[in-house]
Structure 1
Amino acid sequence: MTKIQMKTPLVEMDGDEMTRIIWKMIKDILLLPYIDLKTEYYDLGLEHREATKDQVTFDSAEATKKYGVAVKCATITPNAERVKEYNLTEMWKSPNGTIRAILDGTVFRTPILVKGITPFIPSWKKPITIARHAYGDVYKNTEMVVPADCKAELVVTDANGVETRSLIHDFKTPGIIQGLHNLDKSISSFARACFNFALDQKKDIWFATKDTISKKYDHRFKDIFNEIFEAEYKDKFKEAGIEYFYTLIDDAVARVVRSEGGYIWACKNYDGDVMSDMVATAFGSLAMMTSVLVSPDGVYEYEAAHGTVQRHYYKHLKGEKTSTNSMATLFAWTGALRKRGELDNLPELIDFADKLEKASIETIEDGVMTGDLAALSSLDNITKVDTEAFLTEIAKRLDKKMA
């Protein structure tokens, strides 16, 4: 069979632990037999990040800006234990956070739905996409422990040295304090990425904050979204037959639980972090959650929404078989290949991505699945398989579709 040709490389960001093992399996079993795969490779494994003093992460993000599409494996964000385990010279920052900041991107996470895995919320019939703002708030906070008999103030000093002060709290007893910030530029990029993605997906979009309580901070988000929508997107949404509306975060949660799904839910950074895990778990499994980082100027970076599956990796190192779900990592590859095909006008590449996704879903719906899904599935005659066997079963079905 003649392999599918590519015009432009994907930026390939390799990762850590069990997902790194799966990454190579996906390429060897499902991609390289069919595609003359062109990638610009960056090793974001923790050892190589240490060796390059994290420069490789910055280089991969700049390459993504150059080529427009990237696919990323899950990576370790080191804590104190990892610093010791990997003998690191520094507790390197999250690669995802670094890449998000460089691309000025918004993260969109969507569950993969299959028959036999019933959502815990019975009314959900269609995927719910979480759009998470990826800058600021608690993730770039400044915080202090405050002793008793202290006064805390918010102080802003302008370019001329003039101070504006506002009392936060007069501490009579010990306490804690936290300072958050965000930027109009980042919020505007978030809004445009959300509206562009909604038009691309032809889905309604909701946005929710708590502006009734946070009358300046959250209200700023609400105002910027509304201004950009009215000035740039209102007519486009009307033409596409989709809707944008704003509501309070508590009202949004109530609406989401009662809904049938099928829309994009835009959230501030922390809300998106929490709600994406809630939505993933309620639909079945975090291993069935896709994730794509989209910049306001149309750069895409695809990855899985889950981590490196550390526990399974240690079993793998002992020579034990694992039954690790590879669906989210696989869909990161198909998403990137499809987008590359769309940008380069390669219908064969788009068709391959579609067929590979269908083959993987059919495998699960035929009753062949990894252990996490076997524990959730309501199908009869389930066959639980190991990590490599699952990908081999997908390959059998893909072969028929590609014949």
Structure 2
Amino acid sequence: MKKIQMTTPIVEMDGDEMTRILWKMIKDELILPFVDLKSEYYDLGLPNRDKTNDQVTIDSARAAVKYGVAVKCATITPNAQRMDEYHLHKMWKSPNGTIRSIMDGTVFRAPITIPSIHPIVKNWEKPITIARHAYGDVYKSVEIRAEEAGTAKLVFEGKSGKTQEVKIHDFDGPGVIQGMHNTDKSIRSFAHSCFKFAVDTKQDLWFATKDTISKTYDARFRQIFQEVYDKEYKEQFEQLGITYFYTLIDDAVARVMRSKGGFIWACKNYDGDVMSDMLSTAFGSLAMMTSVLVSPEGKYEYEAAHGTVTRHYYRYLKGEETSTNPMATIFAWSGALRKRGEMDGIPELQHFGDALEAACFDTLNEGIATKDLVHLMEGVEAKQVNSADFIAAIRERLEKRLKA
């Protein structure tokens, strides 16, 4: 079988732990035998990020902007325990946060659904897509550990010389302080991305924050969304018969649980992080969710929405067999290759992305699945296999589809 040729590289961002192991397996079994892969490789594994003072993360994000398509493996965001485990020089920030800040886009996450797995929420009939703001908030926050009593203040020094100052808190003992920010520019880009995606997919758009409590920060999100909608998208929404509405985040959660699905739920950065995990689990598994970062200029970064599967990695290091679900990582590759084919005018590459996803569905629909899915499947005789055998089963079905 002649390999599919590429013209422009995709940016390949390798990662950590069990997902790094799966990354290589997916490339070796499902990509390289069929595609003459052109990629610009960046090792975002935690040891290399530490070695390069995290410059590798910045370089990879800039490359994604340059080439327009990237695919990313799951990575560790270190905490105190990881500092000790990896002997780090610094507690590096989330690589996803760094990449999202540089690309300044929106993360769209949607569950991968199959007929044999029904959502835990019984009235959900269609997938729910999370649109997650990809800049700022807690992911770009700064923090102080106050070791004694004192006063914390929030100060803004304007270029004009004007200064704004508010007291945060009078501490009578030790505590912690956090400062977050966002920009009108990024919020506006977020709004445009959400409205454009809703128009493209002909889905209702919900947006939720907590502006009753955060009367300046969250309220600014609401104001900008309404301005952008009224000025540029209201007429298109009405013509398509789709709806945009704003509500409080707690009301949105209640509405989502009672809904039938089939809409886009736009969330601020942290809310989108948490709610996408909730939705993916409710629809089946954390490993059954697609995730793509889309910049305002139309640059794309595909990734898995889940973490590095640490528990399975420790078992792997002991030589024990694991049954880790690679679906989200496979779909990151298929999405990136399909988008590369679309942007470069290579229909064979687009077809390959479609065929790879179809082969995954063929495998699952025959009941061949990893441990996390077996107990969820209904109407098929489910058989648990390890990760290597699952990927091998996908390859067998992929070869059939490509030869058809």
Query: TM-score scaled to structure 1, two decimals?
Result: 0.93
Between 1:155-164 and 1:266-275, the stretch displaced more is 155-164
Question: In structure 2, what is the equivalent of residue 42 of structure 1?
Answer: 42
Q: CA 1:176–1:387 in structure 2 vs 1: closer, same or farther (change >3 Å)?
A: closer
Q: Map 1:218-229 to 2 at 5 A.
A: 218-229=218-229
The equivalent residue for 2:104 is 104
Which range moves more in the overlay, 386-395 or 45-54? 45-54
What whole-Å deviation, never above 9, does each CA across 1:288-339 have from its counterpart, x for those lacking one? 1111111111110000011111221222222222111000000001111111
Q: 1: CA distance between counterparts of 2:226 and 2:142?
A: 29
Is residue 367–residue 379 contact of structure 1 (8 Å, CA) maintained in 2? no
- In structure 2, the residue matched to 1:365 is 365
Q: Is the 8 A contact 1:147 1:175 kept in 2?
A: yes
User: Number of aligned pairs?
Assistant: 403
What is the alpha-carbon distance in structure 1 between the residues aligned to residue 42 and residue 144 of structure 2?
Answer: 38
What residue number does 2:292 align with? 292
- Corresponding residue for residue 59 of structure 1: 59
Instruction: Quickly say closer, same or farther: Cα 1:144–1:67, change in 2 above 3 A.
Output: closer
- Structure 1 SS opposite 2:245: strand
C-alpha distance in structure 2 between counterparts of 1:71 and 1:112, whole Å: 18
CA distance in 2, matches of 1:172, 1:53: 37
Q: Identity, % of aligned pairs?
A: 65
Q: CA 1:34/1:241 → structure 2, altered by over 3 Å: closer, same or farther?
A: farther
Q: d(CA) in 1 for partners of 2:21 and 2:295? A: 29
Q: CA deviation at 1:393?
A: 0.8
**Number of the residue aligned with 2:356:** 356
The amino acid across from 2:24 in the alignment is K
Distance 1:243 1:342, change over 3 A: farther
Distance 1:166 1:249, change over 3 A: same
Rate the CA distance shift 1:160–1:341 in 2: closer, same or farther, 3 A: closer
Matches of 1:53 and 1:163 in 2, distance apart?
34
Is 1:17 the counterpart of 2:25? The answer is no
Q: Which amino acid aligns with 1:263?
A: F
1:274-353 matched pairs, under 5 angstroms: 274-353=274-353
Q: Which moved more, 1:62-71 or 1:104-113?
A: 104-113
Secondary structure (helix, strand or coil) at the match of 1:110 reads: strand
Q: Distance in 1 between matches of 2:52 and 2:143?
A: 30
Asked if structure 1 preserves the Cα contact closer than 8 Å seen for 2:369 and 2:390, the reply is yes
Q: Which runs of 5+ in 2 are unaligned?
A: none
Partner in structure 1 of residue 6 of structure 2: 6
Secondary structure, in 3 states, of the residue corresponding to 1:257?
Answer: helix
CA shift at 1:281, angstroms?
1.4
**Structure 1 unaligned blocks of 5 or more:** none
- Provide the C-alpha distance between the structure 1 equivalents of 2:214 and 2:275, rounded to a whole number of angstroms: 20
Residues 112 and 289 in structure 2, CA contact (< 8 A), matched pair in contact too: yes
Distance 1:12 1:375, change over 3 A: same
Distance 1:109 1:146, change over 3 A: same
The range that moved more, 295-304 or 242-251, is 242-251
1:290/1:331 contact within 8 Å kept: yes
Q: Secondary structure at the match of 1:376?
A: coil
Cα offset, 1:83, TM superposition = 2.5
Partner of 1:140: 140
- CA deviation profile, 1:20-65 (whole Å, cap 9, x unmatched): 1111111111112222222111111222223322221111111111
Contact 1:140/1:180 (8 A) holds in 2: yes
TM-score, normalized by length of structure 2? 0.92
Per-residue deviation, residues 46-92 of structure 1 (Å, max 9, x unmatched)? 22223322221111111111110000011122222222322322222
Write the distance in 2 (CA, Å) between the matches of 1:216 and 1:377. 46
2:197 — aligned with what? 197
Q: Is residue 128 from structure 1 mapped to residue 105 from structure 2 by the alignment?
A: no
Deviations for 1:184-208, whole angstroms, at most 9, x for unmatched residues?
Answer: 1111121122222223333221111
Report whether the alignment pairs 1:87 with 2:97.
Answer: no
Q: Secondary structure at the match of 1:131?
A: strand
**Matched residues in 1 for 2:51 and 2:254: separation?**
48
Deviates more, 1:48-57 or 1:14-23: 48-57
1:247 alignment counterpart: 247
Q: RMSD in angstroms over aligned alpha carbons? A: 2.2
By how many angstroms is 1:131 displaced?
Answer: 1.1
Deviation at 1:167, TM superposition (A): 4.7
Moved more, 111-120 or 152-161: 152-161
Q: Which amino acid aligns with 1:190?
A: F
Report the Cα distance in structure 2 between the residues aligned to 1:102 and 1:157, rounded to whole angstroms: 24
Q: How does 1:156-195 map to 2 (within 5 A)?
A: 156-169=156-169, 177-195=177-195
Matched residue type, 1:113: T
On the 8 A contact 2:94/2:139 being kept in 1, the answer is no
SS at match of 1:363: helix
